[in-house]
Structure 1
């Protein structure tokens, strides 16, 4: 087998394992992302070591094992990066800026408090533990955002997307994502410059604000002005082609300005979310999403050294971080839901808990920048997985109790009549 064939085989193994484990996860009533992460854990160098290790042909091409390993991992990491870029582009496509400007008071307070409280808890815990400031910032940022996709899917499966608490959760989760990306932009800027002072932080935030503002204003103007002419281009699926080109261009531009590439991808999605063709565009992006995104989660799982969690100190650290992540969102949900029924407050508090893909994105970015070590990376991934697994059964239990109470009430009223 030649070098190209070996690389294609590696990609085939990753993709197939991701889909098999995702299907198994779905059968067990868990989010697909859990199965894809576990596929990476099984295939990674800390378990079977099936992926990321070059064969003799690849070593022969580069005449050196370490160089061949770097080349192979560069290909795999490129697919992983494309996956997370498409993931954030898809999230952006579901985020209308016009809708974000009209979120209710409860959703806004849930979103803002759901960012501030977990961030303060995470950063404070890390600093009290004597951890470096950059490590503290990355962990705190990973604790910030709520996974829109996971919570929405659970609520959709239960048929309660139109409930008051569901609308608050989803609007707050979208706001969380936007604020988390701003936090991530600031943290990656600090990690990239190595400077941690108010001056550098203000400059980074200012750069991010200018970039985001210019992209939104200029992008909305250009797209609203020229989107009608897209259909007249002699290019098959012209809107999709232009959208993907914009996604890649803004991701590259964000990276050029030392921001996270996913910021640009997310903004590109938000721009095209305002078009009338938004739903059709989402349908056409979905196959690309299902092909590329699993590479990101598998490669994330492959980087986790689970043997580190066997160590009492690391395991205890992961448990404390997970509990803080849950408590932080629960407090935000309770405050934002004040005045609602007790069950609605509980649903709101639980629905904000899952970190899912956002926590994994932060962890992967921190590791790729050498800003965090494998210990902290494993802790963040564990927190993301744990908060994702715990939510679906708890939400289903809360709604099951509601239905039982309603059945009892209806039965009592029927008996009375």
Structure 2
């Protein structure tokens, strides 16, 4: 078996396992995403080892260097997974018009700010109280700042709540959260490396991140309305609208990554711009097979990163549970306070919708490890926290969203507009 066949076989295992896990949880009346994450834990390299471990062909390709072979395989699997979450946020963007997002813009910004300040301060103070050094404590606070909106977006889409006010606030806050989180990470990393605050670098990244979001988010819809129809109508290739849309998605995802933002921010902004012509060119339906194929890879690979043995080590587990409790409470309360005045259930949806750290928390923790700021035991704590917040959020969100979705369906069935009291 050649190396490429080995990689393809693992992709096959991931895809089939994702669909089986998703089917099982749908039958249990739970979101498919929970099954996909859990099945990733089961088949991952720390459990059954069906994926993530190189075989003979890959080892031969890397001259029997097992570390290099594993890194190469991980890169291949995570590239497909990253493409999956990019497609997911592109779809979410397609169902979100700029006008809808602007209506909750100030709320989203407030949710993002409070959802960053709370975890950063709470995480830092917890670590300092436990006797950890200042820079290590600050970096763990930075890990808690992260939000992985891919998990929440999938749940919102699965239950049919993407058009709700709460969903728009969460999505808008996620964009602001990513920018603020990037700036916090830049500041803390700069202090860790040089021992001082690099103000010029922080200002430059701020201008790039805010400029990119403002230009693409503000002018994207206008540009698409003016330029997209004449361009695709001149092209003779099959599915020209979809081809151009996917090219724009990848271009903005790459540009966002080059600036230092998460690629999903660019993908979301691309989808939001294309929402203006979505119905005219049936983009949603055309891209649905791509969504069905690619998105599950992200959740299975996310689950495969979890080492179940981490939950069995008491010294890691107790600290991880304390950090997770702070991560959940500070993010949920901070984000919920940004929606003060809303019904309690709506505040809870927004608050807990911002809780998952997922792969974003892992990335920040990995940066701390590579800089030598975070030691391996604390990295394990960050991994457990990221995975627990990822696993806890979907069932909790489904429970919170169920009355809201039921009220909307009843209103549609009776053609009576739904009120906030009904959503509550």
Q: Partners of 1:335 and 1:34 in 2: how far apart?
A: 28
Structure 2's unaligned 5+ residue stretches are 407-424
C-alpha displacement of 1:298: 1.3
Structure 1's unaligned 5+ residue stretches are 401-417
Matched, 1:102 2:100: no
Matched, 1:83 2:80: no
The SS at the match of 2:52 is coil
1:266-297 Cα offsets, whole Å, 9 max, x none, are 22222212335378212222221221121111
1:81-130 Cα offsets, whole Å, 9 max, x none, are 21122122222223322222223877775565455444543454345443
1:8-47 Cα offsets, whole Å, 9 max, x none, are 1111001111111111122223222211111111111111
Q: What pairs up with 1:143-158 in 2 under 5 angstroms?
A: 147-151=152-156, 153-154=158-159, 156=161
User: Aligned match of 1:134 in 135, 139, 143?
Assistant: 139
User: Aligned match of 1:382 in 368, 388, 397?
Assistant: 388
C-alpha displacement of 1:333: 3.3
Q: Partners of 1:101 and 1:115 in 2: how far apart?
A: 21
The SS at the match of 1:262 is helix
Per the alignment, residue 336 of structure 1 pairs with 339
Contact kept in structure 1, 2:178 and 2:261, CA below 8 Å: no
Per the alignment, residue 180 of structure 1 pairs with 177
Per the alignment, residue 210 of structure 1 pairs with 211
Per the alignment, residue 415 of structure 1 pairs with none
Q: Partners of 1:122 and 1:143 in 2: how far apart?
A: 17
User: Aligned match of 1:361 in 336, 359, 362?
Assistant: 359
Q: Choose 357-366 or 200-209, whichever is displaced more.
A: 357-366
1:355-391 Cα offsets, whole Å, 9 max, x none, are 4895213134335645673431222111221233333
Per the alignment, residue 49 of structure 2 pairs with 49
Per the alignment, residue 19 of structure 1 pairs with 19
Q: Partners of 1:250 and 1:358 in 2: how far apart?
A: 24
Structure-2 change in CA distance of 1:109 and 1:212 (3 Å): closer
Q: Partners of 2:79 and 2:98 in 1: how far apart?
A: 30
Per the alignment, residue 267 of structure 1 pairs with 269
Q: Choose 380-389 or 187-196, whichever is displaced more.
A: 187-196
Name the TM-score, length of structure 1 as normaliser: 0.80
Per the alignment, residue 317 of structure 2 pairs with 315
Q: Partners of 2:19 and 2:282 in 1: how far apart?
A: 25
Structure-2 change in CA distance of 1:69 and 1:246 (3 Å): same
Contact kept in structure 2, 1:146 and 1:353, CA below 8 Å: no
